[in-house]
Amino acid sequence: MAAEEQLAIPTVDRLLDTAAGMFWTKSYAATTTREIASALQIQQASLYYHVASKEDLLYQLCLSSVRQFLADIPAALNGVTDPLGRIRALIHTHVHSLLKHQKRNATMLTELRSLSPRHRTEVVELREKYAHLVRSELENAQRAGAIRRDLPAKYSGLALLNMLNWSALWFREDQALTADELAYLFTSIFIQGVAASREQRSSLPEPDLAAPPKRSPSRRKTLHAGENATVERLLTSAAALFAAKGYAGTSTREVAALTGVRKASLYYHIEGKEDLLYNICKSSLERIRSDVETALRDLHDPLEKTRTMICAHVESMLRDQSEHATTLAEMHALSPDRLAQVVALRDKHENLIRSVLEDAQRAGALRADIDVKYLCLALLGLINRVLVWYHRRGPLTPGQIGEMLAAVFLGGAGSGLGTT
């Protein structure tokens, strides 16, 4: 009887973890409160004893994630005086806090936009508070001369959080790497990447973030030869709406209105909303791979190829920011056959990145003490999460951001044997 009563009255942690697990597996939009209640072995009405709605459940889940960091990190830094020691403690504690409730944090990273504006604003403000804490630690380390001063703490802090938070999406407890080893890997790459001494870093050119930004020309809008202007506008409009509101939260009526066509006319060009998502995912992944391959053509030096690959990936991705944000967040809404095609395209591009890193490692240009699998995952986090915070009217161009991230990664992952 006691066990039955315990199941009938779930704790808040059990409720949040159960919901996060289902959101992880099915997505927030595809999960119902009835399913969550069933997984908890309670009546659906009993669920509302704890939360007002499914959206309130997501809100509470996101709050719990950020509050965990805001509690754990200051406690870990208490009494640590060495600037680099504080950065090490911050990274180690962040990784452990992130993975302690991994599915909650992954849900916050992928489903935040599903919150109502009021709730989303509150969560974003808490996240900004934590980002400020990270930035303050880096600024203090800069003032102490412990890390380089040419990279603004704002951007080195964002780069660090990019790499750390991405691991919530790929880390698995059954793999060879432990949480402690992952924390050490990130610490090693980041601290070496922002090392104060020029001799400690890669011998490639440093990024010039103070130069007046030269904006890259807009990408040509044609997606495939033969597609007409209406289809191009439909895909552009759909990508903007999917990136802002999510695939499930966007209607074909809204896509038609933004494109300037009647809803009935929309179906002359597509069979349904999924066609839009599929073509966005497919075209964005094909373009980024093509752009990176073109940039690498005729390059032979392994370190220069790695730097160029990073810059080309970032520039291509940010030219098609809405399309790539949609692809990363929404591809799992596709039907199984179409999802398999898109995943194959994503894997093909990631395999290209990994092959460049493998070649550089074999040539002695990248450090050999970190498995290339994890170098690749760290790099993908570093560059792909830029989608979350990049603004077209911001002070840095995609090219400058790419150069900055290449400098951090190669400073931390380079063996120091690159070309002069």
The tens-digit pLDDT sequence of the chain (420 residues) is 344 444 455 688 899 999 999 999 888 988 999 999 999 988 888 888 888 999 999 999 999 999 999 999 999 999 999 999 999 999 999 999 999 999 999 999 999 989 999 999 999 999 999 999 999 999 999 999 999 998 999 999 999 999 999 999 999 987 788 999 999 999 999 999 998 666 545 555 667 666 655 555 545 444 444 346 777 888 899 899 999 888 888 988 888 888 877 777 777 677 888 999 999 999 999 999 999 999 999 999 999 999 999 999 999 999 999 999 999 999 999 999 999 999 999 999 999 999 999 999 999 999 999 999 999 999 999 999 999 999 988 899 999 999 999 999 999 999 864 333
- CA–CA dist 419, 302 (Å, integer): 9
Structural domain includes residue 237: no
Query: Domain of 355?
Result: 281-413
Radius of gyration of the chain (CA): 23
pLDDT of residue 169: 94
Structural domain includes residue 209: no
pLDDT of residue 46: 86
- CA–CA dist 232, 250 (Å, integer): 18
Q: Verify that 55 and 177 share a domain, yes or no.
A: yes
3-state secondary structure the chain: CHHHHHHHCCCHHHHHHHHHHHHHHHCCCCCCHHHHHHHHCCCHHHHCCCCCCHHHHHHHHHHHHHHHHHHHHHHHHCCCCCHHHHHHHHHHHHHHHHHHCHHHHHHHHHHHHHCCHHHHHHHHHHHHHHHHHHHHHHHHHHHCCCECCCCCHHHHHHHHHHHHHHHHHHCCCCCCCCHHHHHHHHHHHHHHHCECCHHHCCCCCCCCCCCCCCCCCCCCCCCCCCCCHHHHHHHHHHHHHHHHHCCCCCCHHHHHHHHCCCHHHHHHHCCCHHHHHHHHHHHHHHHHHHHHHHHHCCCCCHHHHHHHHHHHHHHHHHHCHHHHHHHHHHHHHCCHHHHHHHHHHHHHHHHHHHHHHHHHHHCCCECCCCCHHHHHHHHHHHHHCHHHHCCCCCCCCHHHHHHHHHHHHHHHHECCCCCC
pLDDT of residue 201: 53
Of 310, 317, 414, nearest in space to 353 by CA: 310
Structural domain includes residue 330: yes
Q: Verify that 287 and 191 share a domain, yes or no.
A: no
pLDDT of residue 210: 63
Q: Verify that 167 and 285 share a domain, yes or no.
A: no
pLDDT of residue 5: 42
- CA–CA dist 190, 183 (Å, integer): 11
Structural domain includes residue 207: no
- Choose one of 144, 175, 200: the last residue of a domain: 200
Could you give the number of structural domains in the chain?
2
Structural domain includes residue 71: yes
Structural domain includes residue 265: no
Place of tokens 């990508």: 239
Place of tokens 């938070």: 165
Place of tokens 């936009």: 113
Give the pTM: 0.89
Place of tokens 């809803």: 263
Q: Could you tell me the CA-to-CA distances from 225 to 122, 220, 275, 278, 288 in Å, in that order?
A: 45, 12, 18, 17, 17
CA angle 243-342-293, nearest 5°?
95
Structural domain includes residue 54: yes
Of 406, 403, 386, 404, nearest in space to 152 by CA: 404
Q: Which CATH number covers residue 302? A: 1.10.357.10
Q: Verify that 60 and 170 share a domain, yes or no.
A: yes
Position 419, amino acid: T
